[in-house]
Amino acid sequence: MESPIPGGPRGEQEEQKVLVSEKSWRPCPRARRRLQGCLEGVKRLLFRVGEDWYFLFILGSLMATISFVMDILVFRLYEAHRWLYQELGDILVLKYLSWTMYPVALTTFSTGFSQSITPHSGGSGIPELKTILTGVVLEDYLAIQNFGAKVVGLTCTLMAGSTVFLGKVGPFVHLSAMAAAYLGKMRTVVTKDYENKFKQNEMLVAAQAVGVATVFGAPISGVLFSIEVMSSHFAVRDYWRGFFAATCGAFMFRLLAVFNSEQETIAAIFKSNITIDFPFHLTETFFFVILGKPIYTALVVLLLASITFPPGLGQLMASRLSMKEYLISLFDNRTWGALVPNASAFPPPRVEPGALWQEWCHPSATIFGTLAFFLLMKFWMLILATTLPLPAGYFMPIFIYGAAIGRLVGETVALLFPHGLHSEEGLYPIIPVGYALAGAAAFSGSVTHTISTALLVCEATGHLGHLLPVVLAVLVANAITQKHQPSFYDGTIIVKKLPYLPRIRSRHMASYRVVVEEFMERRVVALAKGGGFQEVLVALDASTDAEYPVVESAGSPMLVGTVSRAQLVTFLQSHKHPQAPPGEKLATAGTLGDSCTIEPIMLQLSPWTSLHQAHHLFEMLKLQRIFVTRSGELVGAVSRVELRRAIEELANPK
């Protein structure tokens, strides 16, 4: 197998090979050649099933490894912090400092580090990815440089624990999309295959699934959740990619867990593996402290940490629990209301893994008081935390919040019917954990406008018993929220002013009668095929479009094709201005049609295409702009802006 030399043209490679074989004599040329043939055959055989498999396998395994190592690091540092907090004894000031300074330092580092490398690494990343999947090119958003920044930043955010109350789903989706984009580039080098938009999109779709699946260890709901969140239309063809990559990820995750329990040192090996791979100078990281954003982060986290300080208000909101422990405690199988009389009703001096629910006990507030207080406080604390410019996910906190709502309702019902509900066959006891499951699924489902959270809850907890009531709760929650607001991710897209195409909500008959002619942009800057320097200059000044329509002539605006802005700029540079002084060695004559490559039109609308059809086309074909022709003549153009305006007018007629 010849090693591919990237960059070098074919001829050069051949020459180098000849030189090498002349210089060094090697034994058994025939046997070696036969072996080489065999290897080529094996390669062909393996790649015949489609090289996608290998890349998806690598992607899944890579992300699972990162997720696993991150989990271990976070757990270790969290344990260390908890130990420190315990060992400080009764000195309240030291206790307070250790409680607050630790998350403040970590989140400040996270903000500064990630923002100094790239401003794209902040936040969740799902809104931007969703925009990319609609066909918009967001430069550098998937560049591998962000990868290290986001991994380190996210690790620090997660280490800060439940004080800042942020999760890791969104960033992991972004991380695996970056990895997929990078692997895609590498693939073009290895297989010398034609890299195209189709393939890139397929890999990104699989990457989303991997991101969700490696966080929850739930391959199927991972795939479904990512489909629901990311796309408006889904190709069933892309289905298996997500499943395969997500399953590989989940397998790797378990494999690593087995390794880890056998030999504790493997984590350290992975640790060093990660730190040497950062694609930027480590010295850079010392300059970020001067940035302004870390100060905001520090102040907000200080406030959050002060509120959650366990001897203070924290004792009313079980603040000693980590994010994972919050979930475990809320999904506790027992009825807390029935347990409290038997227990001491005081939280134990240190968190006990076997009785996490006791953290919710308080001698004067009861579990109902602590749950209600938790919900009240975390509501605005979570909103505050989402403003922090550090890499963080917002799904997990919403999930926990929903579980707390469900647990509160469940415990209340159990209190009202202490002996269970009557039926013909006897008493059915109330099981609050069912309410907690439904609450988590319904709340997170309604915020993200997804239904697969119902399956996620079941996959994550491992039992399917409550599936039916959970699905119903999610459906009702979705029915209500989808009527009144866009999803959390769409909301972020709108706030960040990224290109966004709203859904046509109106099913009214009148909405089917709106046609393209009524809302298209009529003033399109077009170029005549015979246009010269002057015309091109005017057109470039008149608009900033990436491509310009070319028509037959100004008199008969028959649409011929499009020409890119870059081509026009080259045209201007290579042609002389008509009023320029003579003597320059540039072409004076020459029209657009002669000098520029005119791309043919793939698809065109007619003025009578309906709004619904146009919307459908934009959504499914990921269009950005399309020209409207009547009998071949250019009469207008429709972009996402016009479409959005038409849809908004439909909802709020003047």
Rule CB under 8 A: which of 127-146 touch its own copies? Answer: none
> How far is it, in rounded angstroms, from Cα 616 to Cα 614?
5
Please pick, from the candidates 54, 96, 182, 234, the single residue that binds its own copies as defined by CB under 8 A: 234
Residue 150 CA to its chain's centroid (Å): 12
CA 494 vs CA 130, 486, 497, 498, 638: distances in Å: 12, 9, 5, 6, 20
Q: Does 82 bind its own copies (CB under 8 A)?
A: no
Look at phi and psi of residue 554 and say left if phi exceeds 0, alpha if psi is from -120 to 50, else beta.
alpha
> How far is it, in rounded angstroms, from Cα 356 to Cα 321?
8
Please pick, from the candidates 507, 523, 585, 654, the single residue that binds its own copies as defined by CB under 8 A: 507
Please pick, from the candidates 608, 645, 648, 651, the single residue that binds its own copies as defined by CB under 8 A: 608
Of 206, 223, 239, 217, the residue nearest 59 (C-alpha): 206
CB of 320 to its own copies, least distance (A): 31
Q: Does 43 bind its own copies (CB under 8 A)?
A: no
In the range 200-229, which residues lie near its own copies by CB under 8 A? 219-220, 224, 227-228
Stretch that binds its own copies, among 156-164, 294-302, 345-353, 617-625 (CB under 8 A): 617-625
In the range 103-132, which residues lie near its own copies by CB under 8 A? none
Stretch that binds its own copies, among 233-241, 267-275, 330-338, 429-437 (CB under 8 A): 233-241
> How far is it, in rounded angstroms, from Cα 456 to Cα 147?
27
Of 361, 351, 456, the residue nearest 399 (C-alpha): 456
Please pick, from the candidates 47, 85, 182, 239, the single residue that binds its own copies as defined by CB under 8 A: 239
According to DSSP H, which parts of 496-582 are helical? 516-519, 533-542, 565-574
Q: Does 479 bind its own copies (CB under 8 A)?
A: yes
CB closer to its own copies out of 72 and 454: 454
Q: Does 602 bind its own copies (CB under 8 A)?
A: yes
Q: Does 299 bind its own copies (CB under 8 A)?
A: no
Please pick, from the candidates 612, 624, 644, 649, the single residue that binds its own copies as defined by CB under 8 A: 612
Stretch that binds its own copies, among 137-145, 276-284, 329-337, 599-607 (CB under 8 A): 599-607
Q: Does 251 bind its own copies (CB under 8 A)?
A: yes
CB closer to its own copies out of 384 and 601: 601
Give the β-pairing of 426-428 and 421-423.
antiparallel
Of 387, 360, 356, the residue nearest 373 (C-alpha): 360
Q: Does 638 bind its own copies (CB under 8 A)?
A: no
Query: Which residue is listed with tokens 């975390």?
Result: 378
CB of 219 to its own copies, least distance (A): 6
Stretch that binds its own copies, among 16-24, 95-103, 149-157, 453-461 (CB under 8 A): 453-461
Q: Does 231 bind its own copies (CB under 8 A)?
A: yes
> How far is it, in rounded angstroms, from Cα 91 to Cα 213?
43
CB of 298 to its own copies, least distance (A): 40
What would the DSSP string read from start to end of 131-182?
HHHTT---TTTT-THHHHHHHHHHHHHHHTGGGTT-BSHHHHHHHHHHHHHH
> How far is it, in rounded angstroms, from Cα 349 to Cα 357?
14
Look at phi and psi of residue 560 and say left if phi exceeds 0, alpha if psi is from -120 to 50, else beta.
alpha
Q: Does 45 bind its own copies (CB under 8 A)?
A: no
CB closer to its own copies out of 199 and 565: 199
Stretch that binds its own copies, among 313-321, 383-391, 472-480, 519-527 (CB under 8 A): 472-480
Q: Which amino acid is at 296?
A: Y
Stretch that binds its own copies, among 412-420, 565-573, 586-594, 604-612 (CB under 8 A): 604-612
Residue 320: helix, strand or coil by DSSP? coil
CA 43 vs CA 40, 47, 51, 521: distances in Å: 5, 6, 10, 53
CB of 620 to its own copies, least distance (A): 5
CB of 597 to its own copies, least distance (A): 13
Q: Does 55 bind its own copies (CB under 8 A)?
A: no
In the range 355-394, which residues lie near its own copies by CB under 8 A? none
> How far is it, in rounded angstroms, from Cα 96 to Cα 102?
10
CB closer to its own copies out of 622 and 644: 622
In the range 259-288, which residues lie near its own copies by CB under 8 A? 262
Q: Does 235 bind its own copies (CB under 8 A)?
A: yes
CB of 10 to its own copies, least distance (A): 16
CB closer to its own copies out of 78 and 395: 395
> How far is it, in rounded angstroms, from Cα 157 to Cα 161?
7
Residue 309: helix, strand or coil by DSSP? coil
In the range 540-559, which residues lie near its own copies by CB under 8 A? 552, 558-559
Is 423 buried (19+), middle (13-18) or exposed (0-12) by CB count in 10 A? exposed
CB of 598 to its own copies, least distance (A): 11
CB closer to its own copies out of 160 and 220: 220
Angle formed by the axes of helices 611-621 and 640-651, nearest 10°: 130
In the range 390-449, which residues lie near its own copies by CB under 8 A? 424
Q: Does 468 bind its own copies (CB under 8 A)?
A: yes
Contact 509, 476 (CB under 8 A): no
Applying CB under 8 A, the site for its own copies has a residue count of 76
> How far is it, in rounded angstroms, from Cα 152 to Cα 114?
8
Give the β-pairing of 633-639 and 625-630.
antiparallel
CB of 472 to its own copies, least distance (A): 6
CB closer to its own copies out of 98 and 188: 188
Binding mask 173-202 for its own copies (x = CB under 8 A): --------------------xx-x-xx---
Q: Does 565 bind its own copies (CB under 8 A)?
A: no
In the range 482-501, which residues lie near its own copies by CB under 8 A? 483
Contact 390, 157 (CB under 8 A): yes
> How far is it, in rounded angstroms, from Cα 454 to Cα 423?
27
Residue 297: helix, strand or coil by DSSP? helix
